[in-house]
Structure 1
Amino acid sequence: MAKLHKAIETLVRCRGEYFSFVKIGMMVEVYGDLGTIVGVNDSANLDVVFTNQLKHGKHKYNCHPTCEIKYFDAEDEVIADYSDKGKIGGGQ
């Protein structure tokens, strides 16, 4: 668990305090496909496993935290939207 917490700290340090809301296990939508954040990689990008494994397989994908992505809370409400339709996060 400490390793996962450190991964989020790296994301916040490299990408900014705004990303302190990000949690491992959080549901996201990237380019219209639902997935789950499973980690943060050395590039301070998100590791996401997509729900549709027939389309994406079982491996994790390297996803930029502000590129065509929506973040959902535990109640499935959008809490940050970096899609072309949303563009809210980061004080925009």
Structure 2
Amino acid sequence: MKTAYDIILKPVITEKSMQGVAEKVYTFKVHPDSNKTEIKAAVEEIFKVKVDAVNTITMKGKMKRLGVHLGRRAGYKKAIVKLSADSKPIEFFEGMM
């Protein structure tokens, strides 16, 4: 049984993801086996907010090379979570703006 903290791994802090904070759109790195309903329930449980929509993206790892050796970075899954209009914003992201 996965807990909410097993599903939501960490927030994604990039310039593009921080632009969505004003519209209550947040990006998280999530467990690769989790689905949209699990992600929605986990965000609502952890941050005590009302989630309107969840979009997920499976990111492939980039190819990297060091000299003649080729390798691949690890892939991951990320979720873009949109909160409802009457929901309060997530306090964690408010200090970064």
Would you call these one fold, judging by a TM-score over 0.5?
A: no
Greater C-alpha radius of gyration:
2
Normalising by the smaller structure, the TM-score range is under 0.3
Pick 1 or 2: higher relative contact order, CA cutoff 8 A, min separation 6. 2
TM-score between both structures, scaled by the size of structure 1: 0.28
TM-score between both structures, scaled by the size of structure 2: 0.27
